Amino acid sequence: MDIRIDSDSAVPIYLQIVNSIKHQVATGRLKPGTQLPTVRELATTLRINPNTVARAYEILDQDNVITTQQGRGTYVRERPDGAHLARMRQEQLKVMLDSVITHALSLGYTVEEIRDAFQAQLARWAKQKKA
């Protein structure tokens, strides 16, 4: 499991963990049934407070992404349904776009400049894909 924390990000660390795990599940990098590190292990690896990891795991459990089995550990849910996976993918796309838009706005780009650049880039990608 690969989780990178950006301490300079406006996104809280617990949400960075949630978003990273959701992304890895949605893209198949974390397969159903995969055991996740314990709260303490992940906190030590990321050098953060265990309460932060516990909060992220609690949200993931509420969102039916993971399941915690007392005494056995925390696992990626066996069969997230198609609607749930689609919702997770949409959430990930929103997070990615929010990050790019926020960064561009902070650099002084206008909403119109961002929209035009995004549409131009999408058109370039579509053209490359056809070729």
pLDDT digit string, tens, across residues 37-48? 999 999 999 999
Question: Which one, of 92, 86, 39, 29, lies nearest residue 61 by Cα?
Answer: 39
One-letter amino acid at 3 equals I
Q: Which two tokens stand for residue 54?
A: 């516990």
Residues 6+ apart with CB under 8 A from 31: 76
C-alpha pair distances (Å), 3 with each of 33, 63, 98, 129: 18, 19, 19, 30
Residue 76's φ and ψ, nearest 5 degrees, are: -70, 135
pLDDT digit string, tens, across residues 41-67? 999 999 999 999 999 999 999 888 999
Helical pair 39-46 and 13-26, crossing angle rounded to 10 deg: 110
pLDDT digit string, tens, across residues 68-116? 888 899 999 886 567 777 777 888 888 889 989 999 999 999 999 999 9
pLDDT digit string, tens, across residues 9-44? 888 999 999 999 999 988 889 999 999 999 999 999
